């Protein structure tokens, strides 16, 4: 996922997060002693007015996967000066694994930080761009001044406590704190912005003096852990223990003392310095190289042979518990040591902090527990750890296989509410083992017996959205299906349909597992080809793995008395795979689930070096004869595409085929003159670039999807479903494709005041009327307009809230569990056509699922071009957060329609809280969910920092805990 977008939203005008072939941002881990804290690193460029350019590394703490600027918080800034170095290192005693995490050391004159970055194309490109950004040592080149960074300096620092710094602070208001006798204008040394600022002080800016060293504004590792970033916390806490400890000798001494007791058995592997040129050098991906690679793939059987390797695949839903028992009965039950371990967890941490923020101490606890329980007859190296909230996947290989692991990439997909939250979803690692590509997926799908369609949707979302960048930037991303071997594990949550719980338990007692399997939802969905098409699963010869009383082998005796089910599964897809065992492990009693394992012998293609060289020589010889071939040309199956009746958030796909002639060619969709992208925002070509061998063909899909970013201009007619795509052939000509269609206007993406003036459904109005109302300026008060008096609130909002008020006020996990996409389509159509009576008729479902209506409400609020609390009032809201009287005064300044909507929503949320014993909602959850929807930073301006994010939540929170005397029936549509 491109996290540089989130960074760009936090920057001021003129500052850019560098984007080349890949985003110049990478997510890594800051290592400080025994502490491991996630950081997002961005390379930011600024062009001073005097010419040239200056660069700095911006370090951010972040929530889950950083999607927008709201999800990140600036922690430190390290300017890239002449004495700046960022080098790959190999900590003492660590084992080299090609494809494992990369350890890099950041050094300036007085600063030393150690990071672990994920191996792969993102990191390689990031390090290359940082290297290019270094100013060099040419004395004729002016020294960077970094005047542009002054905007990030803090206000007057707090007088107490006075941190012990190497130099004295110049704390005069409005000045740069600098070294005694220092001179900003002539200073050239590094500047460090520490993460140890308080709410009042913000980020502390350290001055630069003649000759260079930083003045410390906080510890190098001053970023907040998940505990420090609680939703009710304020500001960025000061880690005073790190003051004055950022010198290289201190940092390195801590590194040497941080070795854990498991180092002798398991080592977090990195690439050795000697391999740096090989791994991190700029790779050349010319046409000739691509042709050679393609031919090698075609002739793979000529130079490889099949060799079996033992794979252990395990999954365990730990129910938010810490490890309490040895995991060897699960991980080391076989006499033969596996060659590869793939170990997945779900519900690693169920706390709100883990859900709303990224870090959790449970990650390290379970990593250590696994590492200590691997097979004792072998030594293993960790290749990758990837986590999304509570879903974690660990990959280990035997020490002797480490050199044959390459092309490691990891990705995550959240399928929670609004398709973003990571409480449900999947994580995956893909890698090359010898000459076989392998993808391992760990997923946690939607819960509850009746929600099998939502589980199916989660599976499809993971398959479509999980994409891995390739080393060659000219090639399209890899999807899960584009691998030789796929191993899919996790809490898939499919249940047993038999309604009689006692009958289920009786069949289990009789060990009639095949009779019980006939009622298994996953079996039925696979048979219907709804999910896991082409996958295999072993016979279920063990009793269901859910749900048990924690600490026992007894079935659930809680009030809900959940029926037993085979929730935890392992499936596979590919050739040369033999399952040797598939079992649960009843000895472990930490969770309400039992862990499951499957052991495979997998045939991997191993290269015969002599045959490989021979094949390569033959390909090169034949290629030499083609060097002077004709100009490439292709034929297109069609060049005109018409998308009919395009609707909000409803994907439409049209496809065509590119068929190549006799000359190998590379193709790419290119931008037209004066345009930044090859297509409009609502359109995408997949793949947008690629390579074709002679007489080969590729299918291109044109995907049209209208979202909150593009809907408003399509509603108003400022944009239309019209575009021209230019398909360019390398060394060949350009081909032009025409895209047209019509958009169905929607209440989604329409302004609040526009909808208040629409007495009729939007699709019953003439297009010109919709255009006029959408472009109408928002007025604070009635200005004597000739238009009819508007409704108090949009009728569409009233319909959604009224439905939830009447049907879902006690719905468990409301606003936390996603709805079905098909149901959202129906809800959108009902709102846009005014067929309210049809809202309760959703295909085969007698009534709409409450979660789908709740998610539709959130999507409606998110799609508003002007949020409920207008952009102009945003800053005032933050300033008076915590002062209810002042906050109410700000609300009174909003235009009437916005004021009414805010008051109406608060009354509804208060009603939900009155039923918290049933729906399990609390004021913090609702404030967090609705705070970011009702209060949004003005478009085009810097996104709010984490402290401001909390103020936005606090602003909403005070209205939830101080109810107004307002009934939900006060407004009528």
Q: Convert the pLDDT of each residue in 634-643 to its tens digit.
A: 999 999 999 9
State mean pLDDT over 443-467.
93
State mean pLDDT over 47-63.
82
Domain boundaries 790-961, CATH class: mainly alpha
Where residue 242 falls among pLDDT bands split at 50, 70, 90?
very low
* The two three-digit tokens of residue 703, written as one number: 């995907």
* CATH 2.30.29.110 boundaries in the chain: 3-137
For residues 786 and 359, which has the higher predicted lDDT (pLDDT)?
Answer: 359
SS3 content of the chain, % helix, strand, coil (to 5): 30, 25, 45
List of residues 6+ apart from 301 with CB closer than 8 A: none
User: ω before 88 within 30° of 0 (cis)?
Assistant: no
Query: Tell me: the pLDDT tens digits for 665-697?
Result: 889 999 988 888 999 999 999 999 888 888 999
pLDDT of residue 230: 29
| Inter-CA distances, 316 with 366, 410, 561, Å | 11, 20, 21
List of residues 6+ apart from 757 with CB closer than 8 A: 773, 776, 787, 788, 790, 791
List of residues 6+ apart from 898 with CB closer than 8 A: 752, 753, 866, 868, 869, 870
* CATH 2.60.40.10 boundaries in the chain: 634-744
Is residue 523 within 8 Å of 544, Cβ to Cβ? no
For residues 239 and 781, which has the higher predicted lDDT (pLDDT)?
Answer: 781
| C-alpha to C-alpha distance for 484 and 430, rounded to whole angstroms | 11
Is residue 62 within 8 Å of 72, Cβ to Cβ? yes
Where residue 924 falls among pLDDT bands split at 50, 70, 90?
confident
Query: Tell me: the pLDDT tens digits for 11-39?
Result: 877 777 765 334 457 888 888 877 778 88
| C-alpha to C-alpha distance for 198 and 576, rounded to whole angstroms | 58
pLDDT of residue 61: 85
Where residue 73 falls among pLDDT bands split at 50, 70, 90?
confident
Burial 843-868 (b: 16+ CB within 10 A, else e): eebeebbbbbbbbbbbbbbbbbbbbb
User: ω before 637 within 30° of 0 (cis)?
Assistant: no
Please say if the pLDDT value at position 126 is more than 90: no
pLDDT of residue 964: 63
| Mean pLDDT of all residues belonging to the chain | 79
The pTM of the whole model exceeds 0.85 = no
pLDDT of residue 788: 78
* CATH 1.10.555.10 boundaries in the chain: 790-961
State mean pLDDT over 629-648.
91
Please say if the pLDDT value at position 130 is more than 60: yes
Nearest alpha carbon to residue 584 among 538, 536, 646: 538
Phi, psi of 112 (to 5 degrees): -145, 120
* The two three-digit tokens of residue 644, written as one number: 């009919």
CATH assignment of 634-744, among 2.60.120.10, 3.30.70.270, 2.60.40.10, 3.40.50.970: 2.60.40.10
Query: What is the fold, at CATH topology level, of the domain defined by 3-137?
Result: PH-domain like (2.30.29)
Where residue 3 falls among pLDDT bands split at 50, 70, 90?
low
Nearest alpha carbon to residue 882 among 950, 940, 784: 950
Query: Tell me: the pLDDT tens digits for 717-733?
Result: 999 999 999 999 988 88
Q: In degrees, to the nearest 5, what angle opens at C-alpha 174 toward C-alphas 168 and 176?
A: 40
Query: Tell me: the pLDDT tens digits for 835-886?
Result: 877 666 554 544 458 899 999 999 999 999 999 999 999 989 989 988 999 9
| Inter-CA distances, 908 with 816, 882, 900, Å | 16, 21, 12
SS (H, E, C) 516-579: HHCCEHHHHHHHCCCCCCCCECCCCCCCCCECECCCCCCECCCCCCCCCECCEEEEEEECCEEE
pLDDT of residue 211: 30
pLDDT of residue 270: 27
Where residue 110 falls among pLDDT bands split at 50, 70, 90?
confident
**551-565, 769-783, 801-815, 911-925: the lowest-pLDDT one:** 769-783
pLDDT of residue 786: 57
pLDDT of residue 950: 81
Query: Tell me: the pLDDT tens digits for 494-524?
Result: 999 987 899 999 999 999 999 999 999 999 9
Query: Tell me: the pLDDT tens digits for 298-348?
Result: 899 999 999 999 999 999 999 999 999 999 999 999 999 999 999 999 999
How many CB atoms sit inside 10 A of residue 337's CB? 17
| C-alpha to C-alpha distance for 34 and 28, rounded to whole angstroms | 16
State mean pLDDT over 470-493.
90
DSSP 223-284: ---TGGG-TT--SPPP-GGGTT--SHHHHHHHHHT---TTTTTEEE-B--GGGHHHHHSPPP
**356-365, 442-451, 513-522: the lowest-pLDDT one:** 356-365
Interstrand relation of 640-646 and 734-743 (parallel, antiparallel or unpaired): parallel
Interstrand relation of 112-117 and 25-32 (parallel, antiparallel or unpaired): antiparallel
List of residues 6+ apart from 897 with CB closer than 8 A: 752, 753, 756, 790, 792, 793, 794
| C-alpha to C-alpha distance for 909 and 906, rounded to whole angstroms | 5
pLDDT of residue 23: 46
| Architecture label for domain 300-609 | 4-Layer Sandwich (3.60)
Please say if the pLDDT value at position 62 is more than 80: no
pLDDT of residue 144: 85
Is residue 565 within 8 Å of 496, Cβ to Cβ? yes
| C-alpha to C-alpha distance for 647 and 662, rounded to whole angstroms | 41
pLDDT of residue 226: 31
pLDDT of residue 354: 64
Please say if the pLDDT value at position 280 is more than 50: no
H or E element in which residue 10 lies: none
Query: Tell me: the pLDDT tens digits for 169-197?
Result: 233 333 232 222 233 223 333 333 333 22
Strand partners of residue 736: 726
């Amino acid at each position: 996922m491109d996290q540089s977008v989130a960074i760009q939203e936090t920057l001021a005008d003129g500052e850019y997060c560098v984007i080349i072939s890949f985003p110049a941002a990478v997510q890594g881990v800051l290592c400080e002693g025994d502490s491991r804290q996630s950081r997002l690193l961005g390379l930011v460029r600024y062009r001073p007015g005097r010419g040239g350019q200056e660069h700095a590394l911006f370090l951010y703490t972040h929530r889950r996967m950083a999607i927008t600027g709201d999800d990140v918080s600036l922690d430190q800034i390290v300017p890239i000066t002449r004495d700046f170095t960022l080098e790959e290192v190999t900590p003492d005693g660590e084992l080299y694994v090609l494809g494992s995490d990369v350890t890099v050391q950041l050094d300036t004159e007085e600063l030393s930080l150690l990071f672990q970055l994920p191996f792969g194309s993102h990191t390689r490109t990031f390090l290359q761009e940082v290297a290019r950004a270094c100013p060099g040592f040419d004395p004729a080149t002016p020294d960077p001044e970094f005047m542009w960074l002054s905007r990030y300096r803090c206000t007057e620092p707090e007088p107490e406590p006075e941190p012990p710094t190497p130099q004295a602070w110049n704390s005069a208001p409005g000045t740069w704190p600098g070294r005694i006798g220092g001179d900003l204008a002539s200073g050239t040394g590094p500047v460090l912005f520490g993460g140890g600022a308080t709410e009042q002080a913000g980020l502390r800016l350290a001055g630069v003096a003649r000759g260079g060293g930083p003045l410390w504004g906080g510890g190098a590792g001053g970023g907040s852990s998940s505990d420090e970033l609680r939703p009710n916390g304020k500001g960025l806490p000061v880690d005073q223990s790190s003051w004055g400890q950022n010198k290289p000798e201190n940092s390195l001494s801590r590194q040497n003392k941080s070795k854990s007791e498991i180092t002798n058995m398991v080592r977090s592997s990195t690439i050795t310095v000697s391999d740096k040129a090989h791994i991190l050098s700029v790779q050349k991906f010319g046409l000739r190289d691509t042709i050679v690679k393609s031919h090698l793939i075609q002739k793979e059987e000529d130079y490889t042979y099949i060799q079996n390797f033992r794979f252990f695949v395990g999954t365990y839903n730990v129910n938010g518990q810490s490890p309490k028992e040895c995991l060897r009965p699960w991980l080391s039950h076989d006499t033969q040591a596996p060659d590869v371990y793939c170990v997945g967890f779900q519900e690693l941490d169920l706390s709100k902090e883990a859900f709303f923020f990224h870090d959790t101490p449970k990650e390290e606890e379970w990593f250590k527990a696994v590492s200590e329980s691997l097979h004792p007859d072998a030594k293993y190296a960790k290749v990758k750890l990837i986590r999304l909230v509570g879903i974690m996947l660990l990959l280990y290989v035997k020490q002797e296989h480490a050199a044959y692991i390459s092309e490691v990439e990891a990705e995550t997909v959240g399928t929670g509410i609004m398709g973003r939250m990571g409480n449900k979803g999947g994580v995956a690692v893909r890698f090359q083992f010898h000459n076989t590509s392998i993808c391992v997926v760990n997923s946690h799908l939607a819960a509850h017996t009746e929600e099998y369609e939502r589980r199916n949707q989660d599976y499809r979302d993971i398959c479509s959205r999980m994409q891995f960048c390739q080393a060659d930037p000219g090639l399209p991303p890899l999807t899960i299906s584009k691998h030789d071997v796929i191993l899919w594990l996790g809490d898939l949550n499919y249940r047993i349909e038999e309604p009689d719980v006692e009958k289920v338990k009786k069949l289990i007692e009789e060990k009639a597992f095949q009779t019980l399997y006939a009622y298994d939802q996953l079996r039925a969905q696979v048979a219907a080809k709804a999910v896991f098409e082409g996958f295999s699963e072993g016979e279920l010869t063990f009793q269901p793995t859910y749900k048990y009383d924690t600490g026992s082998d007894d079935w659930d005796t809680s009030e809900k008395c959940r029926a037993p089910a085979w929730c935890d599964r392992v499936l596979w897809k590919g050739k040369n795979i033999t399952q040797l065992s598939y079992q649960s492990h009843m000895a472990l009693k930490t969770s309400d689930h039992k862990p499951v394992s499957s052991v495979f012998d997998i045939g991997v293609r191993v290269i015969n070096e002599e045959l490989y060289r021979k094949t390569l020589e033959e390909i090169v010889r034949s290629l030499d004869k083609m060097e002077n071939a004709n100009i490439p040309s292709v034929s297109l199956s069609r060049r005109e595409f018409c998308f009919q009746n395009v609707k909000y958030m409803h994907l439409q796909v049209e496809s065509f085929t590119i068929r190549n002639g006799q000359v190998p060619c590379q193709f790419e969709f290119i931008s037209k003159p004066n345009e930044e992208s090859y297509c409009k925002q609502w359109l995408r070509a997949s793949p947008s670039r690629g390579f074709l061998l002679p007489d080969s063909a590729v299918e291109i899909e044109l995907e049209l999807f209208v979202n909150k970013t593009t809907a408003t201009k399509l509603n108003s007619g400022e944009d239309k479903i019209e575009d021209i795509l230019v398909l360019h052939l390398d060394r060949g000509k350009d081909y032009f494709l025409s895209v047209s269609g019509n958009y169905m206007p929607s209440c989604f993406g329409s302004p609040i005041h526009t909808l208040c003036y629409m007495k009729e459904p939007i699709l019953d109005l003439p297009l010109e009327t919709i255009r006029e109302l959408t472009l109408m300026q928002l007025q604070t008060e009635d200005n004597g307009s000739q238009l009819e008096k508007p409704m108090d609130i949009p009728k569409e909002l009233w319909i959604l809230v009224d439905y939830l008020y009447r049907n879902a006020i006690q719905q468990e996990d409301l606003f936390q569990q996603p709805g079905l996409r098909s149901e959202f389509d129906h809800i959108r159509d009902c709102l846009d056509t005014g067929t309210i009576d049809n809202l309760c008729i959703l295909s085969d479902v007698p009534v709409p699922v409450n979660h789908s209506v709740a998610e539709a409400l959130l999507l409606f609020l998110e799609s508003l071009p002007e949020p409920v609390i207008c952009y102009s009032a945003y800053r005032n809201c933050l300033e008076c957060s915590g002062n209810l009287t002042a906050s109410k005064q700000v609300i009174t300044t909003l235009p009437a329609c916005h004021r009414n909507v805010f008051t109406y929503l608060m009354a509804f949320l208060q009603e939900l809280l009155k039923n918290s014993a049933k729906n399990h909602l609390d004021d913090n959850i609702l404030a967090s969910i609705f705070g970011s929807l009702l209060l949004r930073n003005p478009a085009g301006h810097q996104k709010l920092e984490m402290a401001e994010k909390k103020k936005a939540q606090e602003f909403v929170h005070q209205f939830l805990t101080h109810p107004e005397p307002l009934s939900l029936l006060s407004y009528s549509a």
